[in-house]
Amino acid sequence: MPKEVKTEEYTTLTGQYLNALMRDYQSGYTVFRIKTKTNGIVTCTGYIVLPTSGAKINVTGCWTDTRYGRQMADCIVQEVLTDREGMLEYLCNIPGIGASIASHLADMYGEKLYDKRAKSTMTRKLP
């Protein structure tokens, strides 16, 4: 079996989190996929906290060539705060929230939707 060949240069990709292919819940090691504009669908590995499906994320890692193909390894994931379009896409991925409710929430709260401290007061104000 051939060994992994790693480049030592770390690269950052920005894309949309798609799904986890494999996850070890004890250690947090995860094989997951993201969709980028420049590289298409990329398989990544690392010890991460799972982002919400569809979230825009930055993934920093190094490219490796494995028996499974080219992928990013030793990844660090950071969710990206996005514009209104990204916010609507994120909200529509939450069960029970459709396009009209997502639009209403984005108009009503804007960037406060990303502020975890404000979430407790927002839930009391929903119509």
Regarding whether 73 and 15 lie in a shared domain, the answer is yes
**Count of structural domains within the chain:** 2
pTM for the structure as a whole: 0.63
What's the pLDDT at 124? 47
- The lowest-confidence range among 7-21, 28-42, 83-97 is 83-97
User: How many Å apart are CA 27 and CA 43, to the nearest integer?
Assistant: 19
Give yes or no: residues 120 and 105 share one domain: yes
Q: What is the pLDDT of residues 42-75, one digit of tens each?
A: 999 999 988 878 888 999 999 999 888 899 999 9
Which position has the token pair 């997951």? Answer: 32
Same domain assignment for residues 25 and 65:
yes
Q: Domain range spanning residue 12?
A: 5-79
